[in-house]
Amino acid sequence: MKKMLTAAVSRVWSGVAQKPVSRVLVASCNFSKDATFEIKKCDLYRLEEGPPDTTVLTREDGLKYYRMMQTIRRMELKADQLYKQKFIRGFCHLCDGQEACCVGLEAGINPTDHVITSYRAHGLCYTRGLSVRSILAELTGRRGGCAKGKGGSMHMYAKHFYGGNGIVGAQGPLGAGIALACKYKGKNEVCLTLYGDGAANQGQIAEAYNMAALWKLPCVFICENNLYGMGTSAERAAASTDYYKRGNFIPGLRVDGMDVLCVREATRFAADYCRSEKGPIVMELLTYRYHGHSMSDPGVSYRTRQEIQNVRSKSDPIMLLKNRMVDSKLATIEEFKEIDVEVRKEIDDAVHFATTDPEPVLEELGHHIYCDNPPFEVRGTSQWIKFKSLP
Amino acid sequence: MAAVCGLMRRPLEQVSGLLRRRFHRTAPAALQVTVRDAINQGMDEELERDEKVFLLGEEVAQYDGAYKVSRGLWKKYGDKRIIDTPISEMGFAGIAVGAAMAGLRPICEFMTFNFSMQAIDQVINSAAKTYYMSGGIQPVPVVFRGPNGASAGVAAQHSQCFAAWYGHCPGLKVVSPWNSEDAKGLIKSAIRDNNPVVVLENELMYGVPFELPSEAQSKDFLIPIGKAKIERQGTHITVVAHSRPVGHCLEAATVLSKEGIECEVINMRTIRPMDIETIEASVMKTNHLVTVEGGWPQFGVGAEVCARIMEGPAFNFLDAPAVRVTGADVPMPYAKILEDNSIPQVKDIIFAIKKTLNI
């Protein structure tokens, strides 16, 4: 079984494992303002053309993407520590390894577009505008958390970001509904609807595909294929692991999810497709999670440490971007080290906040049952214990 | 000259005509409106009032509604606002919830609430809980409506009452109209409410006409969610019901009145949040309580009413244990004799009332 896994993984990664070729157009000054990079061609399904195979990265954007990915990486690793120290309870699903997906997606859309995802959401929470402080404080269940401590890891929301959804696959139809609202309102917005390789086998995803295609909803269905649905490899769960083809009558593309530039270009392409009223499109991001499914899963019973190490050393998204930028003189190693220091400080501050901010007051137990409602009494654990519905 | 006189005459006639009309103007008479038409009117008015409102479900558009509740709406509002869906309850319920999260006000019709079971995760986990889980950031102004409970001869899989199931969940509002006034006022309130509301209609009531009082004919007529109505004043016993059984209770009350027993009949109108205060005040007056519902007895609406009465001030006023009349504790059978005895009939209500009063 392990041999099969390794073979499957190396088959999948054969393209990604090599170092990306970079071509520099401007080499005369100390720092280039920008550079053109070749990016991996996407596999296409029912599409004549795909995203471009080269892209221009400005120094400014590059440093921004690096900072964002590094912030997410550090934040997730801190969450791991906090969980082991029992500051975080319950479920905690980390996305370290998948940073290029969240950052690349955000780079390919506008802030006015919409995003919805599964429970492995911390990275997208950040790229959609929530601060590290508010994310970590939500994980530790404090009043300064983005959901005031009421939601936890899986239920964080922001403007045009609809969580954070605990039920596998439920976000599929929800995302199609958000896309329906986009079409209804006519403001040329799209909805990115993310789900994993495991969720791709949910019936409601097929229902969402059908209605999105039927009604030409501006929905980009994005399958984040990190090769494992909890402890079950993709091959053991899906009769077809070509997730970008699973939309059947919906065109699709398969994208190198470890390359932030590839993700950005593919997202731009997909969003443009939807904005031109052609209907939905499916995007499969080939990516990898370093952690297990959640903090209760060591992640090594169904895959080898060798495999994890392999991906880390050959395809780490942060390393890939940094090497590209250094090689093409867009930035120096020292600059990246400086960013690392700043990120570390930001995370440390956030951790301090998340571990010292008080828990919500007990009175808030009854708040936020209903929206815009006159006050009423909320029953506690017995008839004599009552909470108010409003402060 | 004649022409000038003609000119002079005409305006006078018009003026006197106006005067005539004003003096003979009467208040709008109470109309006979079926429950179906009342729901139709309610939805029509809200669709007209707010562009963000739209209806989706199976057969709601071109078929005019499986039970013709949405008749004429597609013709009036078109494809954008009245949407026929494929047979994909989980999918389209989720789509409705997503659209609500993104700022629209969908009405999601389940052809019957039995089919809502396929979508129940979207109703509970995606709709009901979201405002709370998000710490008040994300409201979900969606309405789920459709026929609930027993129909006639549709057997076990098409006859379940979901009042108790949905009534169980915090974050949801659940209403259960009985007559046309209820149906119209509650659907309008549900659509205007910024929370997920489940509207449990009744197929057997759709064709029943009721007098719609004049205030209910206004486009701003709303029935507040969470308020019960005393349909009939009485002194000897409180009889509480929701949906179609309210009519049966009133029939029972009429029969018993001839024997000198005056029942106070309460139409719950809302399952959640339950208006227990109205029931308590009534029980404190009559000292006796019978609940009536179409759903199964265990863990049902009546069970909740009784538990709350025990916990509150009305308990000390009870002269006998509170009693429940419910559907039989069986999956709904098909044969008429069996079906008839699986739902509460007027005679069952009368029997329970007399038992409680020790008559």
Does this complex have an ipTM over 0.90?
yes
Residue A249 lies in a domain: yes
Asked if residue A1 is part of any domain, the answer here is no
Residues A55 and A83 occupy one common structural domain = yes
- pLDDT of A120-162, one tens digit each? 999 999 999 999 999 999 999 999 999 999 999 999 999 999 9
- Collect all residues from B whose CB is shorter than 8 A from any CB in A: 54, 80, 83, 85-86, 88, 90-104, 106, 121-122, 125-126, 130-139, 141, 170-171, 173, 194-195, 226, 273, 311
**Same domain for A210 and A140?**
yes
> In chain A, which residue's Cα lies nearest the Cα of B311?
A383
A185 contact residues in B (CB cutoff 8 A)? 103-104
CB contacts, 8 Å: A375 with chain B:
none
- B20 pLDDT higher than 80: no
**pLDDT tens per residue, range A235-262:** 999 999 999 999 999 999 999 999 999 9
The pLDDT, as a whole number, for residue A31 is 75
Strand, helix or coil for residue A322: helix
Q: Does A169 touch chain B (CB under 8 A)?
A: no
Q: Measured between alpha carbons, how far is residue A295 from residues A73, A90, A99, A164, B281 in Å?
A: 15, 9, 18, 17, 53
**A376 and A278: one domain?**
no
Q: Are B291 and B146 in contact (CB under 8 A)?
A: no
The reply to whether A11 falls in a domain is: no
State residue B59's pLDDT score.
Answer: 98
Q: Give pLDDT tens digits for B258-284.
A: 999 999 999 999 999 999 999 999 999
Provide the domain count of chain A: 2
**How is residue A31 annotated by DSSP?**
S
Query: What are B155-185's pLDDT values in tens digits?
Result: 999 999 999 999 999 999 999 999 999 999 9
- With beta carbons less than 8 A apart as the criterion, state whether B355 and B323 touch: yes
Which residue, among B106, B119, B59, has the nearest Cα to A180 in the 3D structure? B106
pLDDT over 80 (residue B19)? no
- Nearest neighbour of A151 by CB, restricted to B54, B134, B195: B134
SS3 assignment, position B286: helix
Is residue B34 within 8 Å of residue B206, measured between CB atoms?
A: yes
B-chain residues near A114 (CB < 8 A): 102
Predicted confidence (pLDDT) at residue B22 exceeds the cutoff of 70: no
If asked whether residues A278 and A385 sit together in one domain, one would say: no
Interface residue A210 vs chain B (CB under 8 A): yes
Specify if A8 maps to a domain: no
- The answer to whether residue A53 sits within a structural domain is yes
Indicate yes or no: CB of A170 within 8 angstroms of CB of B122: yes
CATH number of the domain where residue A313 is located: 3.40.50.970
> A355 with A371, same domain?
no
- Predicted local confidence at residue B5, as pLDDT: 47
Which residues of B are known to be catalytic? 89, 158
Same domain assignment for residues A367 and A351: no
CA distance B132 to chain A (A): 5
**Nearest in space to A166 (alpha carbons), one of B134, B96, B112:** B134
Distance from CA of B92 to the nearest CA of A (A): 7
Find the radius of gyration of the CA atoms of chain A. Answer: 21
Report pLDDT for B23.
54
Q: What number of residues does chain A have? A: 391
Residue A18 is predicted with a pLDDT of 45
How near does any CA of chain A get to the CA of B208, in Å? 33
CB A136 within 8 A of CB A348: no
Q: Which among B95, B276, B310 is the top mutation candidate for probing chain A, defined by the most A β-carbons within 10 Å of its own β-carbon? A: B95
| pLDDT at residue number A20 | 47
Q: Is A326 on the interface with B (CB under 8 A)?
A: no
pLDDT(A167) > 60? yes
Q: How far is A198 from chain B (nearest CA, A)?
A: 18
Q: Is A371 in CB contact (< 8 Å) with chain B?
A: yes
Q: What is the pLDDT of residues B233-257, one digit of tens each?
A: 999 999 999 999 999 999 999 999 9
For the domain covering B229-357, report its CATH number: 3.40.50.920
Please, where in chain B does CATH 3.40.50.970 lie? 33-217
Domain extent, residue A74, equals 34-360
pLDDT band at residue A23 using 50, 70 and 90 as cut-offs: very low
d(CA A294, CA A170): 19
Task: Please report the DSSP string for B211-263 in residue order.
Answer: EE-GGGGSTT----TT--EEEE--SSEEEEE-STHHHHHHHHHHHHHTTT--E
Residues 171-190 of A with CB under 8 A from B: 172-182, 184-185
Give the chain A residue nearest B108 (alpha carbons).
Answer: A177
Looking at the fold, whether A92 and A198 belong to one and the same domain comes out as yes
CA distance B221 to chain A (A): 19
In a domain, A244, yes or no: yes
Q: Which of B252, B218, B247, B219 is nearest to B234 (CA)?
A: B252
- In angstroms, the CA B320 to CA B212 distance is 37
Q: Provide mean pLDDT across the span B94-107.
A: 98
Q: Give the tens place of pLDDT for each residue, A272-317.
A: 999 999 999 999 999 999 999 999 999 999 999 999 999 999 999 9
**Contact assignment for A185 to B121 by CB distance below 8 Å:** no
- Tell me the pLDDT band of A15, cut-offs 50, 70 and 90: very low
Q: Is A382 near chain B, with CB under 8 Å?
A: no
**Mean pLDDT value across chain B:** 94
Q: What is the mean pLDDT of residues B32-61?
A: 98
pLDDT at A30: 63
Please give the interface size between A and B, counted as residue pairs whose CB atoms are below 8 Å apart. Answer: 151
pLDDT of residue A5: 42
Nearest to A289 by CA among A220, A344, A234: A234
Residue of B nearest to A163 (CA): B134
Both A259 and A295 in one domain: the answer is yes
Judge if A233 and A380 occupy the same domain: no
Residues 6+ apart with CB under 8 A from A28: none
Q: Tell me if A10 is assigned to some domain.
A: no
The ranges of chain B annotated as CATH 3.40.50.920 are: 229-357
CB contact under 8 A, A170 and B125: yes
Residues A322 and A272 in one domain: yes
The shortest C-alpha distance from B319 to chain A (Å) reads: 22
The model's confidence at residue B28, banded by pLDDT at 50, 70 and 90, is low
Residues 6+ apart with CB under 8 A from A207: A172, A173, B86, B88, B90, B91, B92, B94
Confidence of residue A26 (pLDDT cuts 50, 70, 90): very low
H-helix segments, chain B: 2-23, 35-49, 73-77, 89-101, 113-116, 120-121, 130-133, 163-167, 180-192, 245-257, 276-286, 301-311, 336-340, 346-356
Question: Cβ–Cβ of B139/A371 closer than 8 Å?
Answer: yes
In a domain, A381, yes or no: yes
Domain B33-217 matching CATH 3.40.50.970: the answer reads: yes
Q: State the best of A211, A367, A386 to mutate against chain B, taking most chain B CBs within 10 Å.
A: A211
Closest-approach residue (CA) in chain B for A365? B132
pLDDT in tens, A314-348: 999 999 999 999 999 999 999 999 999 999 999 99
Output the pLDDT for position B26: 61
